[in-house]
């Protein structure tokens, strides 16, 4: 499991951030086979050229799987835009993780 499936679980937030239609993001992000690759493919579809350049590797890149600012931009998204509660309603694995962490602190 990759963290990208949890990032995409806030479907409305990530669609707005990437400037892509909401219907491009699956309803069950936990079932995306390769979430990082899927997220990069979404970034390639962004209406914002700057985001495409920052998040997706350059055309013809042979070793890079992500763009030069992939981590920085998604850190920004999680810090400033991601809605954890909304994401947990989509991702059962995220909800399970939140419940486990909560039970550790309430014990």
Task: Give me the number of domains the chain comprises.
Answer: 1
Average pLDDT over every residue of 15-35: 96
Model confidence at 1: pLDDT above 70: no
pTM (whole model) above 0.85? yes
The token duo for 82 is 């991601």
Average confidence score pLDDT of the chain: 94
Residue numbers of the domain that contains 91: 3-106
What is each CA distance from 78 to 12, 25, 59, 102, in whole angstroms? Answer: 13, 17, 26, 20
Cα–Cα dist 54/61, whole Å: 14
Model confidence at 99: pLDDT above 90: yes
Residue 91: how many CA atoms within 13 Å on its side-chain side?
A: 29
């Amino acid at each position: 499991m990759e963290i990208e499936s949890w990032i995409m679980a806030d479907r409305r937030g990530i669609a707005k951030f990437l400037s892509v239609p909401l219907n491009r993001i699956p309803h069950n992000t936990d079932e995306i086979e390769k979430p990082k690759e899927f997220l990069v493919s979404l970034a390639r579809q962004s209406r914002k050229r700057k985001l495409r350049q920052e998040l997706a590797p350059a055309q013809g890149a042979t070793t890079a799987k992500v763009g030069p600012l992939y981590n920085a931009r998604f850190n920004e998204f999680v810090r400033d835009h991601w809605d954890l509660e909304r994401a947990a309603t989509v991702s059962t694995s995220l909800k399970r993780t939140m419940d486990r962490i909560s039970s550790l602190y309430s014990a």
